[in-house]
Amino acid sequence: MTTTRQLSITLPLELADAVQAKVATGEYGTESEVIHSALSVYKKNAFIAFAVDDANFEYWY
């Protein structure tokens, strides 16, 4: 079971409009789902970037 915490965020208008557009098209059911998806991609990319940097460090060292 996933534990959640409610947050209140403020986004620039451009990002807020993009979030609402994703919900309006039916791609996502809620604004929370859009933010969750975006943060999941960010987390995955940050992990990949860290792994690549770490591999490059070992290669050059």
The answer to whether 19 touches 35, Cβ cutoff 8 Å, is yes
The answer to whether 22 touches 34, Cβ cutoff 8 Å, is yes
Assigned token pair, 15? 């990002």
Q: Which pLDDT belongs to residue 12?
A: 98
pLDDT band at 52 (very low <50, low <70, confident <90, very high): low
* Model confidence at 48: pLDDT above 80: no
Per-residue pLDDT of 1-38, as tens digits, reads: 679 999 999 999 999 999 999 999 999 999 999 999 99
Give the pTM. 0.72
Q: What is the separation of C-alpha 50 from the centre of its chain, rounded to a whole number of angstroms?
A: 16
Segment 36-54 shows an average pLDDT of 80
